[in-house]
Structure 1
Amino acid sequence: MPNPARNPPNAPPQPAGPAEPDSPVTLVDGETGAWALSFAVHLAVLFLLAALTAILPSDRRPILSATPVEPIEDLLPEEFRFSNETEDQIGALADAGASDAAPSAPLPDMVSEVLLKIEPTALTGTVEAFEITEPVMTSPTVTDDMLVKGVGAVGATGAAGAVDRITQEILTSIDQRPTLVVWLFDQSGSLKPQREEIAQRFDHIYEQLGVIAAAGDPAFAKHKDKPLLTAVASFGKGSTLLTPEPTDNLEEIQAAVRAIKDDDAGVENIFTAVGTVANQYRNYRLKSPRRNVMIVVFSDEAGNDVGRVDETVDLCRKLEIPVYVVGVPAPFGKREAFVKYIDPDPMYDQSPQRVAVEQGPESLVPERINLRFLGQRDDETLDSGFGPFALTRLCYETGGVYFTVHPNRTMGGEVQPWQTSPMATYMSRFFDERVMRRYRPDYVSVAEYQRNLSNNRAKAALVQAANLSLTEPMEDVRLDFPKLEEAQFAESLTRAQRDAAVLEPRLERLVGTLQQGEPGRRTLSEPRWQAGFDLAIGRAMAAQVRTEGYNTMLAQAKMGMAFKDKKSDTWVLRPSDNISSGSVLSKEAEKAIAYLEGVAKQHEGTPWALLAQRELATPLGWEWREEFRDLAGRLARREANANMPRPMREEPVPPRKERRPPPKL
C-alpha cells in the first residue's frame, strides 16, 4: 500500500523501483505509548483521591442531637443576681458586701469594718488598682481612740470626749476635700448642760484646727477655699437653722449654740431634722467645687419619728453624708429606761425622781424575755452595748459612728442607784464595746428583718416570746407564811396557790413558744441570736420548774406540817437543789441548767452571760424552813402603841420643800 506521506496528492507520479524490505514489528508504537501514559496519569489521580478520603473528615459521621431545655428563671434568688451598675464604694460596708473587704491589719477582726471610698470607674476599660496604705482594722495595739466607721457604737464617758474623737474625723475629711460640718442639737431641757459643754468645747476644737492650719498642715494648704465651714441647727417637733449661712467664725458658732431654746413638748423628730439638714446642704455635695458634708447629732432619746429612718438613710447614702450621733446607750432588750432627775431650782425638793424616757431597744424589736418572779423584779437596766436601733442604724449605714455617752461608764463595775449622776440613765452595768461588737444587732429594714424571722424558727420564737413576756408581766409570788392559827395558815396557802395557778399557764405558753423554735436553733450562726435564744429558753424553763415545784410545796403544806421548834411561828419557802431525781421536773431542770451554763461559758462578758449567771445562782427547787419572828409580840406592841398618845415634839419640824413633777424629757 503506497504511503500517503511519500506521495502527496499533488506530487507527480514516481517511477517504479526495486521493492524495499518491510519495517520491524514492535509491541508499543506511538499511539500505544500515548495511551499508556494517559492510563498511568489517571491511575495516579485515583490513588491520590483514595488517599485524600483517608485523611480528610468523612461526611458520614454520626450526628448528635439534644432537646433544648427551657431556662429556669428562679434558679438563683433575686439577691444574688448581678447588677449592671458600677459601685462607687468598696469594703464590708459598701453595696458590694463583705466579699470586697480585705484584712490588712496584723490580726484581722472577726468582721471587717473597712469602708474605702473610690471614684466610680467606667463600665468598660482598664481595671484600676487601688493601693490601701492605711487600713483601719482591729490589731493587737488597738486603742480606745481608734474609730471604726459603721461599727455600731463606741462608748464614751462624756459628750466632750466624743466630740474630741469626732475632731479627728473632721481632719480626715478635710484631708480629702473642703468640709462642711453641721452640728444638730436636741432642744429638750435635759440636754441643756450638754449643749453648754459642747459650746465651751468648740474653743478647743477650732483652736486645735487653727493650730494645725498655722503649722502648714497639707490638709489646709492644698485647698484654696476655706477648708472648714460650720452650720448649727436645732430640733424638737420641728427643726431650726441657727446659722443663716455656713461660717468659720468661732464666736458666731458659739453664739448659735447658746441661743438654742429649751423645748418642753417632749417630742424629738430626729430623722425629720436630719433629712431636712441633708436637703438644705445637698448642693455642697452636688455642685462644683464639691465639699464633704458631715452631720453630728446630739440627743438623749431614740426619736419619735423612727418611721422615717428608711428614707433618711436612703437620702444620706445617696448624698454620701455620714451621720454621727452623740447619744445615750440603749437599755438591754427594753424600750424604756429611767433618768435620775433632780429639780434644777434649789427652791424645790432636791430628792431624785425617776423619769421614764424611751431610749431603746438596741434592736428593731425587743429580743429578750422579761420575767418577774419570786420577788425578783426584772427591772434592772443593763447597757446593751449599742445605741437605740434606728439612730445607730442611721450611723451604721451612712458610714458614721454612734457614741454611747454615760458619765458612769466603768467597765466591769456595778453602779449603784445613788452613784448615778443627775440627768443620767440608771444603768447598773456596762460592757466592753470590743466584746459586744460580735453581738451587733441586724441593722436592716423592717421588711428584711421580718424575712429573717420567717427563715428561722428560733429567731421567730425568740421575738414572739419576748413580746409575750412584755405584754403579760409575771407577778411576784409569796414566800413567807405566818402561822398563828391553822385556819389563817391554810387561807394564806390557798391564796398563794391561786396566784401560782394564774402564773403557770403563762409560763407554759412561753416555754412552748420557745420550744417550737428549737429545731431552728441548730442553724443559728450569729452569736447574738444564739445567746438570745439560749438565755430565753433557759430562763423560761427555769421559771416553769420553780413554779410547778412551788405549787407542789404549797400542796404539801396544806396536808399538814408541824414545827420542830415550839417557838417557831413562820414557814418560809427558800430555793433549794432538792428536786426529785428522775422526775419530770428534774429532767426539765437539767435542760434549763444546760442552756444557761452554755450561755455563761460561750458568751462571757455580755449581758446574756450576766443574766444566765444570776439565774444559775438561784436553785430551781424548794424547801420549807421554820423561823421565829415573834408575830404575837409584834401584834401586842402594835396594839399598845396605837392606844398611847404621841409625845409632843419640842422643836417644830421644818416644812419640806415643794416637790414639783418633772418636765417631759
Structure 2
Amino acid sequence: MPFVRCYPWLLSLGLALFVGCDGVGIRNPFAKPAPAAKQTVAPPAAAPSPGTKQPNGVAARQAREAEARGTMIRTASMRGGKTSGGGAMEERLDVHDAVSRIGDDLKNTIEYSPALVVWMVDTTQSASALKRGFQEAAAKFYQELGPALAGKAPDQLTSAVVAIGGATPQFLIDNPTSDMAAVSDQIAKLPSDDSGAEPIFAAVDKALDKYGKFQSQNRAVAIVVVTDEAGDDQDMVDAVIAKARPLGVKVHAIGVPAPFGRLSGLMQTAESRRDGKPAIVQGPETRRLQRINIDFNSAGFGSQEIDSGFGPFALNYLCRSTGGAYLIVRSSALGSWPGNANVYGGEYRRKYPPQYISAEEYQQLLAGNKALAALDAVSYLPQGGALSAPATNFRAGDEAALKRNLDSAQRLPARLAPPIDAIYNRLSDAEGDRDKITDPRWRASFDLALGRAAAAKARTDGYNQMLALLKGGRKFENPSHDTWMLEPADSLAEAGSRLEKVRKQAVESLQRVIDENPDSPWAELAKRELETPIGWQWNEA
C-alpha cells in the first residue's frame, strides 16, 4: 500500500500506541511545529486555482511534502522495550535505540521532503562512552540509508556535524553535505576535549544562526544534541527557544536522565574543571532545585540518588518547546550515572511532570506563594549534616568524667544545628501557604522538605537536650546499673513540648508524603527518613 494512502492509519496507530519520552509526544524530528492548541492532521494542500496547470504529479508531490513538513507524526517506531524500576514500568533505551528512532523518523521525512540533520555531539571526557555509542549507531544509520534515498534527489538528505566541548563549538562539517561517507567518516573522527566545558546552548544558538535559513527553503531542519550533561549555560534556554520557534527548527537530544532534585549523579571523577564550575552537571529536572540538601541518618553510598525519569530541565524544555524530544538513554556502558539508580515511570511521570515554563513565569510562581519561595531558597542553602553515630553510652560514677563526656558529645549537635535551623525555620515560617499549592510536584516537594528538616531538627536538638538533662542529674531505677544509654524512640516528650511538637510535625509531613504520593521518589525518601525513630529516650544498664 503506498505510504500516502496509509498515512492517516499510521497516525492513528501512533496516537493509540503513544507513550512518549519525558512525558512528551515523540514527533517527527523534521516536521514544523503544529499549532499549540491541538494535535491534528494537517489539511490537504489547497487545490490549484482554476485554469492553473500543474505538471503531471507535481501537485501531489507538493502536497505530500507540505504534509511531511507540517504534521507532527507520532510513530510507533519511537517507542521501545520496557523494564521495571521503582515499582513501575519504565522505558530503557541505549544510544543505538535512540539514534535508530530519530533515524526512522528522518527516513519517513525524506520520503516526501528534503531534510537537513545537524548532529551536535558532546566531546568532553565524561561523554566519551556516549560518544562512542553514537559513533557506532550513526555509522550503521548512514550505511543503511541507501534504500530510503533510492530515486530521490541527490541532496534529499544533507548533514552537518558539530563538536561541543571547550569555549566554542567546532563546525566539523560546516556546509551541509549529502556525501554520506564523508559524514560517517567525520563522525568517526570526532575529537576529544579535556576542558570539561559544555556551552551547549551557545552552540545550539550558533547552529540556529547558521542552519535556520534552510527551513525557509522548504527543507526540514532538525538539530540533534548528544550529551551526558545539562550544559554550562542553561540560563540561555529561553533566548534559544525564542530564536528556534520562529525558524521552525526542531531540537532533539539524546542524553542521560537528570538525578532527582540534584545537579549531578553519583560520581564527579570523569572530568576536572579549571574554571571553578562543577565538573559534572546533569540536572535538575526542574528549572531550579526543589529539594533540600540534608544527609540521612542512615546514609549509605548513593542513598539519596534517584533517577528522576526526566531529562535535565533546560535541554528538555528546549526540545519540548521546539516540537522535539529528549530521548533518555540508560546503559551500564555509560558509566556511573544513572547506573543502578532507582527509576520511576508510568503514573509518576504522568502525574508529576516538571513545569516547563520560562524563567519569568517561574519567578511569578515563587512571588505568589511563600511556601514555594521558601522551598526555592532553602534548596540552595549549605548542606545540613546528619546526627550519625553520635555517642550514646555514658558511664556514671565519676561525675567529672561524665560531664567531660557529655560536653564532648554536645559539640556535634552544636556544629550541626545552624544549617539545619536555617532550612527548617524558613520552611516552617512559610507552612501557612502550603495548602495553596496546587501543583502535585511542588506540594510533594514542600512536604518532603519540611518533614526532613523537622526530623533533622528534632533529632539534633533532641539529642542535645537529652544530654543537658543528664547533666542536671539522674538516678538509676536499678541501683546495680552504672551506664546511661540514649536510644532512638518515637517520642521527645522528656526533652520538652517544643521539640515534641517539631517531632510530630516531621512525622505528619513525612507520612503525608507517603500517603498522597505513593510509588514516587518523594515517598521513597520519606520512608527512608522514617526508618530511624525521630526522638530519644534514656535507658539504663
Where does 1:17-416 land on structure 2 (aligned, <5 Å)? 130=43, 144=80, 156-175=92-111, 177-212=113-148, 224=153, 226-236=155-165, 237-287=167-217, 290-339=218-267, 357-372=280-295, 374=297, 376=299, 380-408=304-332
CA distance 1:482–1:136, shift in 2 (3 Å)? same
Q: Which residue of the other structure, out of 508, 527, 531, is the alignment partner of 2:444?
A: 531
Aligned counterparts of 2:361 and 2:422: Cα–Cα separation in 1: 27
Aligned counterparts of 1:234 and 1:578: Cα–Cα separation in 2: 59
Counting matched residue pairs gives 476
Q: Cα offset for 1:451?
A: 1.0
Aligned counterparts of 2:139 and 2:479: Cα–Cα separation in 1: 74
Q: Which 5+ residue runs of structure 2 have no aligned equivalent?
A: 1-13, 36-40, 45-66, 83-89, 272-277
Aligned twin of 2:460: 547
Aligned counterparts of 2:75 and 2:247: Cα–Cα separation in 1: 28
Aligned counterparts of 1:119 and 1:503: Cα–Cα separation in 2: 53
TM-score of the pair, normalised by structure 2 = 0.76
Aligned twin of 1:22: none
Does the residue aligned with 1:243 lie in a helix, a strand or coil? strand
Q: Is the 8 A contact 1:155 1:403 kept in 2?
A: no
Aligned twin of 1:591: 505
**Partner AA of 2:181 in structure 1:** E
1:239-286 per-position Cα deviation (integer Å, ceiling 9, x unaligned): 112224323333212210122221111111111111112221122112
Q: Is the 8 A contact 1:180 1:228 kept in 2?
A: yes
Aligned counterparts of 2:538 and 2:505: Cα–Cα separation in 1: 25
Q: CA RMSD in A?
A: 4.0
CA distance 1:187–1:375, shift in 2 (3 Å)? same
Q: Which 5+ residue runs of structure 1 have no aligned equivalent?
A: 1-102, 121-127, 147-153, 215-220, 344-354, 409-419, 628-665
CA distance 1:584–1:360, shift in 2 (3 Å)? same
Q: Which residue of the other structure, out of 426, 434, 454, is the alignment partner of 1:521?
A: 434
Aligned counterparts of 2:538 and 2:390: Cα–Cα separation in 1: 10
Does the residue aligned with 1:386 lie in a helix, a strand or coil? coil
Does the residue aligned with 1:339 lie in a helix, a strand or coil? coil
Aligned counterparts of 1:405 and 1:196: Cα–Cα separation in 2: 14
TM-score of the pair, normalised by structure 1 = 0.63
Aligned counterparts of 2:126 and 2:17: Cα–Cα separation in 1: 44
Aligned twin of 1:350: none
CA distance 1:497–1:169, shift in 2 (3 Å)? same
CA distance 1:385–1:480, shift in 2 (3 Å)? same
Aligned twin of 2:531: 617
Aligned twin of 1:510: 423
Percent of matched pairs sharing the same residue:
33
Aligned counterparts of 1:435 and 1:195: Cα–Cα separation in 2: 30
Q: Is the 8 A contact 1:538 1:596 kept in 2?
A: yes
Aligned counterparts of 1:204 and 1:104: Cα–Cα separation in 2: 28
Q: Is the 8 A contact 1:481 1:492 kept in 2?
A: no
Aligned counterparts of 1:598 and 1:619: Cα–Cα separation in 2: 17
Aligned counterparts of 1:227 and 1:177: Cα–Cα separation in 2: 7
CA distance 1:515–1:556, shift in 2 (3 Å)? closer
Q: Is the 8 A contact 1:545 1:589 kept in 2?
A: yes
**Partner AA of 2:529 in structure 1:** E
Task: Kindly indicate whether structure 1 or structure 2 has the higher relative contact order, using CA contacts under 8 Å at least 6 residues apart.
Answer: 2
Mapped pair 1:431 → 2:344: yes
Q: Which residue of the other structure, out of 472, 484, 487, is the alignment partner of 2:400?
A: 487
Q: Cα offset for 1:208?
A: 4.3
1:6-35 per-position Cα deviation (integer Å, ceiling 9, x unaligned): xxxxxxxxxxxxxxxxxxxxxxxxxxxxxx
1:195-243 per-position Cα deviation (integer Å, ceiling 9, x unaligned): 23222223432344434555xxxxxx6x656432222111212111222
Q: Is the 8 A contact 1:577 1:619 kept in 2?
A: yes
Mapped pair 1:451 → 2:375: no
Q: Is the 8 A contact 2:26 2:75 kept in 1?
A: no
Q: Which residue of the other structure, out of 384, 387, 390, is the alignment partner of 1:473?
A: 384
CA distance 1:488–1:617, shift in 2 (3 Å)? same
Aligned counterparts of 2:476 and 2:465: Cα–Cα separation in 1: 18
Q: Is the 8 A contact 1:195 1:258 kept in 2?
A: no
1:54-81 per-position Cα deviation (integer Å, ceiling 9, x unaligned): xxxxxxxxxxxxxxxxxxxxxxxxxxxx
Aligned counterparts of 1:449 and 1:612: Cα–Cα separation in 2: 26
Q: Cα offset for 1:541?
A: 1.8
CA distance 1:336–1:114, shift in 2 (3 Å)? closer
Q: Cα offset for 1:180?
A: 0.8
